Structure formats: structure tokens, C-alpha cells
Amino acid sequence: MEYIIEMLGITKEFPGIVANDNVTLRVKRGEIHALLGENGAGKSTLMNVLFGLYQPDRGKIKVRGKEVHIAGPREANALGIGMVHQHFMLVENFTVLQNIVLGAETVRGGFLKMDEAREKVLALSERYGLRVDPDALISDISVGMQQRVEILKMLYRDNEILILDEPTAVLTPQEIDELMHIMRGLAAEGKSIIFITHKLNEIKAVADRCTVLRRGKLVGVVDVAGTDKETLSEMMVGRKVDLNIRLTPREPGEPVLKVDKLTVHSRRRGQTKKVVDAVSFTVHRGEIVCIAGIEGNGQTELVYALTGLIAPDGGSIELLGRDVTRKSIRHRNTHGLAHIPEDRHKHGLVLDYSLAENLVLQSYFQPRFQRYGFLRYDNIYAYAETLIQKYDIRSGQGAYTPARSMSGGNQQKAIVAREIDRDPDLLIAVQPTRGLDVGAIEYIHRQLVQQRDAGKAVLLVSLELDEVMNLSDRILVIYEGAIVADLNPKEITIQELGLYMAGSRRQAGVAAGGEVV
Amino acid sequence: MKKRPLNLNFLSSLFAICVGLLFGYVILLISNPAQAGDGFGTILTGAFRDMRSVGRVLYFATPIILTGLSVCFAFKTGLFNIGASGQLIVGAYLAVLVGNKGAALGGAHWVVALLAAIAGGALWALIPGLLKALANVHEVIASIMMNYIGMYLVNYLVVQTVFDQLRNQSLPVAASAVIPRWGLDKIFPRSNVNAGFFIAVLAAVTMYVILYKTKFGFELKAVGYNRDASRYAGINEKRNIVLSMVIAGALAGLGGGLLYLAGTGKHIEVVNHLAPEGFTGIPVALLGLSHPIGILFAGLFIGYLTVGGDYLQLYDFAPEIIDVILAAIIYFSAFALIIRTFIQRRAIRTGGGGAK
Ligand SMILES: Nc1ncnc2c1ncn2[C@@H]1O[C@H](COP(=O)(O)OP(=O)(O)OP(=O)(O)O)[C@@H](O)[C@H]1O
Ligand SMILES: [Mg+2]
């Protein structure tokens, strides 16, 4: 009875694709077991099988040495299996405590017994250093905190086997460190954790063993301590990956985007704070400018204002020499601007449309895709096919796949493909590689650099410090809505960048509202 | 990709129909066990007794197909048009008004009257559409209010303009305003069917083309599925919301026009009742799987039961029983929708980085 979980020879098919093909996964008690694989390799599917959301077509599952049939999450819970999905499942207008208790309430005489629940939650939170406030509303707490609530939910149900599906994709670097710490604590207590991530650093930092999948098949299981990152990434994508990019020096050309004293007030009721505070900067042809900052310092609102999703409260935006401050979103989109949005499910995709329809979401109105108001579906599907080839977007039924059923990383690739392929003069990319595997990241990075080298302008917003340092010609640090530094990545270290981002350092001469060119 | 959910949907509609019919049979059994078998038989076969009955099916189906299309069209943009009743009656009033006063129009009389009906329905839906787009007032609240405003206003206007005091209803329209029969009276003798049915079919086909083949339909559906993503893609979602409501209203108004210009002795009665055809549109849209062609068949099916149900009186049943059966089917079609969503949730769990 060495293994607490054994998934033996699991096969799961979807229309047009074998998502898991005879996959075996064994997890020991008290270990942190990483699950690694390209986008669409079948990781989420395998975990959904373990959690009872999908029934496998073949194969069996043993828990604590006994063969079991897991019909649904309820059965999974009874076996001590809990799962944190990549997109959280919390009730926004409930408190933390209510969310944790939901579905596992203890009642006496028909009344909820919240006092006991509260004590238990507080004790758990204390024990694992989670520090959550049980009475806070979910809608008021950060994504990192919401994740802890999800973890507490599992602990509250006395789950011993914890599945974390890409938990770090939505976290800031600080939050990731804290999560790793929590995970180690849980493992030390004897909990077993299955951890999905695309970031090899994280696997090296916390995992004991790692199972690698490729295109639905098992590639191998390795001890993390004895394996280096290069080997892991090679096992995963089947070739060597090089994430180091050397930008060829290049003189920036004429300005493409000129932002002058752009100001956005908080949209929250009763607040008059400026979330974007008189921001001014310029992005030229042939350069990648990166906005770096800790999440929640106004990046989102800045991008919304630039792309037209919200109207700014002051200042101006100039695109290719023309004022577009009051122009519509469609106007900007057809006059040189493309936008890879931060939230792919909210803005990036119409999940109920097919992949092809999503790929033309920004261009369906062009003459090649419509004539006299009638869509030219043959052209649309032909175009979709070329993008699918070019950007290696994997899915069950090609262009006809409903976007909803695609793996998270492939959804992201579809958005990136759509936006880059429009060949914009200015590409605003917010977290473009979130949730992508290293092979895909390498590809997207190359594409961004190619845009730059072709004389286009790129404005990159990223929380990933490696990405920021690697990819940009210039780094603008945003802190509390204001640009506090304009840095050359070659002249600073990651540590220094961190100090600027934390607000403990400011560049002289770049006072709020000052012109940064 | 399209096959599987469609089959599932079709099964759920079939399920609703079967359970509804079964329920009806039980009611027949309770009220008169001896005749229940014959009564049930007549519900199913009554519509095919003779050509006249078939014609009546088409006649009954016409307005509810249009209100079904109306509900469906708004639904594609994520709006629940519960105001088809008000739109229908306002459209009907304008049609009757033109039908009474416009005899000078000659051969074009009925066409102009129908156009007036379309305009009336569109106008009545424009208001909730604008409220939704500009002030984010929920369209359900606004259209329910418009239903009542429409009903009372039409009652008032009928009395003021085209009132038949003896019968407490609107005056009959001029012969030139009655929708022509186009030979249908030869095929279906003595029934009330007229060209209106063709107009309903045309409306369904046009709507299918708009929704699934055009740029406009692409935008409407995108707004219905995901407003934020539509905005991001530069689609003017406010404009689409207003347009969607206006077109939905136009369809309901057209239904009203066709109903009251059929030359069947149906008049706008001055009573405080909302027009039931507007509400029947909701189950028709449900049964028809929110698909224009499906709605065509769903409307025909309801017409078929209505006609069959009329013959229940031959077996000493109250004619209201058919309404009970229809109501049961409506309930179960809503119920089937829940089951369908449930099955879909289980079967096709959403993909993504994790299941959503
Ligand atoms: N509900 C579904 N219906 C149809 N196909 C699906 C469904 N869920 C997943 N798939 C397909 O199965 C394959 C594996 O998807 P899965 O979500 O398991 O990938 P993943 O390894 O989690 O990838 P990522 O890193 O991008 O999240 C994908 O090609 C996807 O299109
Ligand atoms: Mg996944």
C-alpha cells in the first residue's frame, strides 16, 4: 500500500481526440507530485477523471489500494479527494466562511451551526498559515486569497488528496512563494498533492516526483531532485527549448502610441481614487515596452482606457499621430491596434462559438469574410485552418471545435494567433503567455520579437519578471496608478526592479505626471 | 460538432411532448373513464379528419409561430422578450385601424395594414430595448409594464376610433384589408387559412438566414453569448440590443396583424386581458429549441393539438381540457430544458485550464 492514488491505464476520448491514452499515474502518501505536459496534453482531463467529473472509457482507479468507482465530486470527496480548478468556483457575494461551508454544512435541528464551522476554519487557517478573514466577501478579496479559500475548502472537508490545477497561473510572484510554502506544510502533514503547472521552477522548488504527458500519452515519471529543467522541458515538448531571447539592438522609430496625462478614476461606488494617475509615455516603432508592476496597481484600467473598454477621465491617447481618446473600440481595432486581453474567458473568447468564429472575432466584417452582409463561411474556415497550422492550436475537431471544450492553453493560443495575425501597428499584450507551456511561450515570445523587428510597436503588460527582463527594450514601472520609473533592462537587476515595483524606490525626474519618452 | 447537442435537444422536446400527452390522458381518464380512449384518439387524429381541419391547424399556428420567433430572436441576443403580448396587441390595433380607415389604398390595403402592425410591434419593443441599452433596466420588467400599457391603451384607442358599441369590440375591417387566401381556400375548404401562413413561413426562413448566415446575426449571437467579449471585439452591443428588441417586436406585431386581419370574425375585444398568443410564444420557442425552423414545427404542433382538442366535445369532454394538456406540455418543455442543461453539464463538462 505504498501508493495512495493509482490511476491505471486511463483512457478518455472526446470527439476527434484521445485526451488520455492509457495513462498511468501513481501518487505516494505525503508527496507533492507534479503533472507536466504541453497545452492540451490531457492534464486537466486526467484530474477531472480522478475527481469524478468525467468517467474514463477504460482503466481503473485505486485509492489506498482499493479499486473504486468515482461517480462524481461527492464520491471523490468521500474518498478524501479535493480539487481546486483553474477557474475558481466560489460564490461572489458570500463570505469566505459561507463559501467554505457550502455543501458540507453541519446542522442541528435544521439550523446551521456556523460557530463550530468558524472555529474549525480559524484553526485550519492558523495551522497552515493561510491567514484568511472568514467574514470577508469573496468579491472583495484578491485572487490569491480566493485560492486560499479554495484550499481551505478542501481542508475543511478533511481531504487528504489535493488536486491543484494550474494554481499559480493567476498569482503574483509573491503569492506563488507563499503558496509553495503552504504546499510544503501540507505535504509535511501527510497530505498528498497533485500539482499542475507549466513553470519548471515551481516544479523544481516543491515537487518530489513528476509525471510527464505528451499528446495524451504518458512519457515518463521522474524524481525531480535528480532531473534538471532542460530534461523536463525536453521530455514535455520532445525538443530543446530556449527561453533566452537576445534582442538585436535597434533604434526606435517614430512614435506609434503617445499617452498624455491619462487619468482614470475608480469605478467603485464611494471612491474618488485615481487608479490611473496622469500617466504619460510613448511607444515607438520597433520597440517592446513593458509595463511592470504588482497586480492591482492600475495596469488593468490603463489597458482598458487605451483599448477603449472604459472612457478615461482625463488626458489623451494618440495612435499613429491621430487622437483616439474618444474613438470607439472598433475604430481603434481597425486603425492599427490589437489587444490580447488579460481575462480570456471574459473578453477574449465567445466560448459558445467555434474556434473558427473566434478566430475572426475581430475581422468578420472585412470584405474577405463577408459580402453584402452575408458571412463567407468557406473563407472563414479556410483562414481558421491556416492559423491553426501556423500557431499549432490543438483541439478535437479543428476549426469546428467549440471554444469551450478547448484546453486553457490552446484557448490562449487562439487569442494570440488572432491578434498577432492582424499585423497591428501597436500590439497591446496583457499576460500573453499565461497558462502556456514552455514550447508555446517560446513561440509567442518569438512572435512578439518578430513584430518588433518588423517595425511594429508592442506594449507588454506582464507580472512575470523573467518575461519582463527578457523581452523588453524599456520597462515602465507602474505603482499606485503612476509611472514611477523608466528603466533599461540591461542596466538593472531583477531585485532592483522589485524595489521599484514595491514602491520603495522612485526614479528621479519621473514624478507623477512627468513626461517619459 | 453540431449533431450531438441537437439530438439531445430534440429528445428533450420529444420527452416534454410525451409526458404532456400522458398527463392529458390521465386527466381524460379521471373526468370520464369510459370515453378516455376515444377522446385521446381524437386529440391525436382530429387535425387530420378532413382538409378543413388541416387548414385550421395552419390558421391557429400562424400567430404563435410569429410570437415564438419573436421570443427566440430576442433570446439569441440574451434578452427575454416577455412583452410579445403587448407588441402583438399594439400591432393588431394599428392593423385594424388602417384596415378600417384606409379603404382608399385599394389592392395594397392589406399590405399597408400589415406594415402598420409591424411598426406598432417594433415601437412597443423599442422602449424596453432603449431602457435596457441606455439605463440597464431589465427588459423583463420593462416589457411586462409595456404589456399592460399596451393593453389599456389599445382598449382606449379602440373605443375612441374603431368602436362597435353593440358588441364592445373593434369594428370589422374593410374587405380589401383582409389577407388574401391565394387559393388556400380551394385546398382547405371552409377553413380560415390564408396567406398569413406563408408569411409566417417566410419570416421563419428569413430569420434563420439572418441568424446563421449574416454578419448581423453573428453580432447578435455574440452579444447574447458574451457581452464583454462582444464589446472587446468592437461590436456595438447597445445598438444590437435595441435592434434585437425592435425586430422581436416587429415579429410579434406582425403576428397581431395576421391574427386580426384574417377575416374570421375575430375582433379586438375591449376587455382587461393580455393577449394570450404573446405568452404562448414562450413555450413555442422552447419546444422549437430556439431555432427558427424548429419553431415553425412547434407552432404547427400546438395548432394541431388545438384543432384535435376542439373535437373533444363530441365525446362529452369540456373543451378546456385541451388547454390543460397544452399547459402540461408547456410545463414539461420548461422542465425538459432543466433536464437538458443538467445532462449537458454532466456529459460535456466545460474544458479549459480546469473545468469551469
Ligand atoms: N469537454 C470536452 N469536450 C471535448 N474535448 C475536450 C473536452 N475537454 C478537453 N477536451 C480536449 O481534450 C484535450 C486535452 O484537454 P485538457 O484540458 O485535458 O488539456 P491540458 O493538458 O489541461 O491543457 P492546458 O495546459 O492547455 O490546460 C484537448 O485537446 C481538448 O480540446
Ligand atoms: Mg488544463
Find out whether the beta carbon of B4 lies less than 6 Å from any atom of ligand 1: no
Q: Which domain holds residue B212?
A: 34-39+57-347
In a domain, B46, yes or no: no
Using the Cβ of B354 and the Cβ atoms of chain A, whether some distance falls under 8 Å is answered with yes
The residue of chain B with its CA nearest to that of A52 is B346
Using the Cβ of B343 and the Cβ atoms of chain A, whether some distance falls under 8 Å is answered with no
Nearest CA to ligand 1 atom 25: A39
Q: How would DSSP label each residue in A137-154?
A: BGGGS-HHHHHHHHHHHH
Q: Sort out which chain B residues have CB atoms less than 8 A from A353's CB and list them.
A: 221-222, 225
ipTM for this model: 0.85
Count H helices and E strands in chain B, helices first. Answer: 14, 2
User: Is A393:A355 a contact under the CB 8 Å cutoff?
Assistant: yes
pLDDT tens digits, one per residue of A212-245: 999 999 999 999 999 998 899 888 888 877 777 7
At B72 the pLDDT is 95
Cβ burial A489-511 (10 Å sphere, 16+ → b, else e): beebeeeebbebbeeeebeeebe
Grid cell for residue A106: 453541519
At B23 the pLDDT is 85
The residue of chain B with its CA nearest to that of A352 is B225
Q: Does the pLDDT value for residue B192 go beyond 90?
A: no
Query: Closest partner residue to A347 among B213, B229, B349, by Cβ?
Result: B229
Ligand 2 centre distance from Cα of residue A217 (Å): 15
pLDDT tens digits, one per residue of B104-117: 888 899 999 999 99
Find out whether the beta carbon of A45 lies less than 6 Å from any atom of ligand 1: yes
Using the Cβ of A397 and the Cβ atoms of chain B, whether some distance falls under 8 Å is answered with yes
Find out whether the beta carbon of A236 lies less than 6 Å from any atom of ligand 1: no
Mean local confidence (pLDDT), A157-186 = 88
Closest CA to A461 of A283, A314, A309: A283
CA–CA min distance B305, chain A (Å): 35
Find out whether the beta carbon of A42 lies less than 6 Å from any atom of ligand 1: yes
Residue keyed to cell 462559438: A353
Nearest CA to ligand 1 atom 18: A42
At B8 the pLDDT is 67
At B352 the pLDDT is 34
Strand partners, A482: A479
Q: Do B352 and A349 count as a contact with CB atoms less than 8 A apart?
A: no
Quote the CA–CA distance of A378 and B123 in Å, as a whole number: 37
User: Is B325:B44 a contact under the CB 8 Å cutoff?
Assistant: no
Using the Cβ of B347 and the Cβ atoms of chain A, whether some distance falls under 8 Å is answered with no
The residue to mutate among B4, B349, B356, having the most atoms of ligand 1 within 8 angstroms of its beta carbon, is B349
Quote the CA–CA distance of B307 and B51 in Å, as a whole number: 12
pLDDT tens digits, one per residue of B128-184: 999 999 999 999 999 999 999 999 999 999 999 999 988 999 999 998 999 998 888
| Residue type (1 letter), A211 | T
Q: Does the pLDDT value for residue B13 go beyond 80?
A: no
Residue keyed to cell 491567514: A131
Closest CA to A34 of A193, A229, A170: A193
Q: Do A361 and B229 count as a contact with CB atoms less than 8 A apart?
A: yes
Find out whether the beta carbon of B354 lies less than 6 Å from any atom of ligand 1: no
Q: Do A15 and B356 count as a contact with CB atoms less than 8 A apart?
A: no
CA–CA min distance B237, chain A (Å): 11
Quote the CA–CA distance of A380 and A418 in Å, as a whole number: 12
Cβ burial A313-352 (10 Å sphere, 16+ → b, else e): eebebbbbeeebbeeebbebbeebbbbbbbbbbebbbbbe
pLDDT tens digits, one per residue of A278-309: 999 999 999 999 999 888 889 999 999 999 99
Among the residue ranges A39-48, A123-132, A314-323, B172-181, the one predicted with the least confidence is A123-132
Closest CA to B256 of B170, B344, B145, B132: B170
Q: Sort out which chain B residues have CB atoms less than 8 A from A361's CB and list them.
A: 222, 229, 233
Using the Cβ of B8 and the Cβ atoms of chain A, whether some distance falls under 8 Å is answered with no
pLDDT tens digits, one per residue of A498-508: 889 888 878 76
Among the residue ranges A48-57, A201-210, B42-51, the one predicted with the least confidence is B42-51
Provide the CATH number for the domain around residue B165: 1.10.3470
Quote the CA–CA distance of A199 and A82 in Å, as a whole number: 22
Closest CA to B5 of B352, B337, B295, B355: B337
The residue of chain B with its CA nearest to that of A403 is B351
Q: How would DSSP label each residue in B96-151?
A: HHHHHH-GGGGGGHHHHHHHHHHHHHHHHHHHHHHHHHHH---HHHHHHHHHHHHH
Query: Closest partner residue to B1 among A348, A375, A400, by Cβ?
Result: A400
Question: Domain A242-336+424-517 in CATH: superfamily?
Answer: P-loop containing nucleotide triphosphate hydrolases (3.40.50.300)
In a domain, B325, yes or no: yes
| Per-domain boundaries in chain A | 3-237, 242-336+424-517, 347-423
Q: Does the pLDDT value for residue A426 go beyond 80?
A: yes
A202-A149-A54 Cα angle (round to 5): 75
Q: Do B225 and A350 count as a contact with CB atoms less than 8 A apart?
A: yes
Cβ burial B194-229 (10 Å sphere, 16+ → b, else e): bbbbebbbebbeebbebbebbbbbbbbbbbbbbbbb
pLDDT tens digits, one per residue of B228-253: 999 999 999 999 999 999 999 999 99
Nearest CA to ligand 1 atom 24: A39
At A448 the pLDDT is 92
Residues 6+ positions from A220 with CB-CB distance below 8 Å: A211, A212, A235
User: Is A121:A156 a contact under the CB 8 Å cutoff?
Assistant: yes
Residue range A3-237, CATH number: 3.40.50.300
At A376 the pLDDT is 96
E strands, A197-300, in order: 209-214, 217-223, 255-265, 274-284, 288-292
* More confidently predicted of B352 and A409: A409
Q: How would DSSP label each residue in B205-219?
A: HHHHHHHHHBHHHHH
Q: How high is the mean pLDDT of chain B? A: 87
Q: Does the pLDDT value for residue B3 go beyond 70?
A: no
Closest CA to B298 of B308, B306, B288, B307: B288
At A33 the pLDDT is 96
Q: Does the pLDDT value for residue B342 go beyond 70?
A: no
At A270 the pLDDT is 63
Burial class of B111 by CB neighbour count within 10 A (0 to 12, 13 to 18, 19+):
middle
Q: Sort out which chain A residues have CB atoms less than 8 A from B5's CB and list them.
A: none
Fold: same for A3-237 and A242-336+424-517: yes
At A269 the pLDDT is 63
Selected for mutation to probe chain B from A195, A350, A353 (highest B CB count within 10 Å) is: A350
In a domain, B29, yes or no: no
Closest CA to B20 of B351, B241, B347, B322: B322
Q: Does the pLDDT value for residue A491 go beyond 70?
A: yes
At A127 the pLDDT is 82
Q: How many domains does chain B have?
A: 1
pLDDT tens digits, one per residue of A237-265: 888 777 777 778 778 889 999 999 999 99
User: Is B125:B84 a contact under the CB 8 Å cutoff?
Assistant: no
Mean local confidence (pLDDT), B296-325 = 85
Mean local confidence (pLDDT), A405-420 = 93
DSSP state, B163?
E
Quote the CA–CA distance of A236 and A438 in Å, as a whole number: 9
| Residue type (1 letter), A250 | R
pLDDT tens digits, one per residue of A342-376: 888 889 999 999 999 999 999 999 999 999 999 99
User: Is A245:A470 a contact under the CB 8 Å cutoff?
Assistant: yes
The residue of chain A with its CA nearest to that of B209 is A374
Q: B residues 200-219 near A, CB within 8 Å?
A: 213-216, 218
End-to-end CA distance of chain A: 65
At A134 the pLDDT is 86
3-state secondary structure of A169: helix
In a domain, B171, yes or no: yes
Residue keyed to cell 478533511: A158
